[in-house]
C-alpha cells in the first residue's frame, strides 16, 4: 500500500501525463474508418518502439558482460520494432495513395 502511495507522490507529474495521454489516445483513435484499422495498429506498433530509448540508456551504462549482452539484445530488438514497424506501415499506406487517373 505504502509503495503505491509513494509511487503516486513521487510520480505525480508522470501520472498526470499518463491520465491525459489515455484520454488523448482514445480521442485520437475514435471515429477511425475500419479501412485504417490495420495500418493504424501497425503505426502504433512502431511508436511503442520508443522502448528503444530505455534500451539505449541501459546499454549506455552497462558494465558487466552479461548486462552488455542483454543490453545489446534490447537495443537490437527495439530497433527491429521501430524500423520494421515504420517500414511496414509505410508499405501498407502506399496502397492508399491516390493514383493518377488513367
Partner 1 sequence: MNQIIEFSKLVHFTFGDSVLEIIYLLASILFIIGLKRLSHPDTAKRGNLWAATGMLIAIVATLLLHRQNEHRIGNFGFIFTAIAIGTITGWIIARKVKMTKMPEMVSLFNGMGGAAAALISLMEFPHINKELIMQHGLLNWQALVIFLGLIIGSVSFAGSIIAFGKLDGRIKDIRSRLLRLVNIILLVVIIGITLFIMTRGQINPVELTPFVYILLAISLVYGVLFVMPIGGADMPVVISLLNSFTGVAAAMGGFLYNNLVMLTGGILVGSAGTILTILMCKAMNRSLFNVIIGAFGGNETSVESEIGTIKEVSITDAAILLSYSRKVMVVPGYGLAVAQAQHLAHELDIVLEEKGLEVKYAIHPVAGRMPGHMNVLLAEADVPYEKLIESEQANDEMENVDVVVVIGANDVVNPAALDDPGSPIYGMPIINTLKAKNVIVMKRGMGKGYAAIENNLFFHEKTRMLFGNAKETLQKLVSEIKNM
To partner 1, the closest distance from the beta carbon of 97 in angstroms equals: 7
Cell numbers 506498433 correspond to what residue? 45
Q: Is 12 in the site for partner 1 (CB under 8 A)?
A: no
End-to-end CA distance of the chain, in Å?
67
**Minimum CB separation from partner 1 for residue 41, in Å?**
5
Nearest-approach distance from CB 42 to partner 1, in angstroms? 5
The set of cell numbers assigned to 9 is 507522490
Phi, psi for 77 (deg, rounded to 5): -65, -40
Interface characters, 28-67, with partner 1 (x: CB under 8 A) = xxxxxxxxxxxxxxxxxxxxxxxxxxxxxxxxxxx----x
Amino acid at each position: 500500500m505504502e509503495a503505491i502511495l509513494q509511487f503516486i507522490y513521487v510520480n505525480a507529474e508522470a501520472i498526470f501525463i499518463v491520465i491525459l495521454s489515455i484520454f488523448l489516445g482514445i480521442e485520437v483513435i475514435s471515429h477511425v474508418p475500419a479501412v485504417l484499422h490495420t495500418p493504424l495498429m501497425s503505426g502504433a506498433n512502431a511508436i511503442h518502439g520508443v522502448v528503444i530509448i530505455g534500451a539505449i540508456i541501459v546499454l549506455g551504462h552497462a558494465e558487466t558482460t552479461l548486462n552488455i549482452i542483454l543490453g545489446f539484445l534490447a537495443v537490437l530488438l527495439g530497433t527491429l520494432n521501430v524500423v520494421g514497424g515504420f517500414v511496414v506501415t509505410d508499405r501498407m499506406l502506399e496502397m492508399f495513395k491516390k493514383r493518377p487517373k488513367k
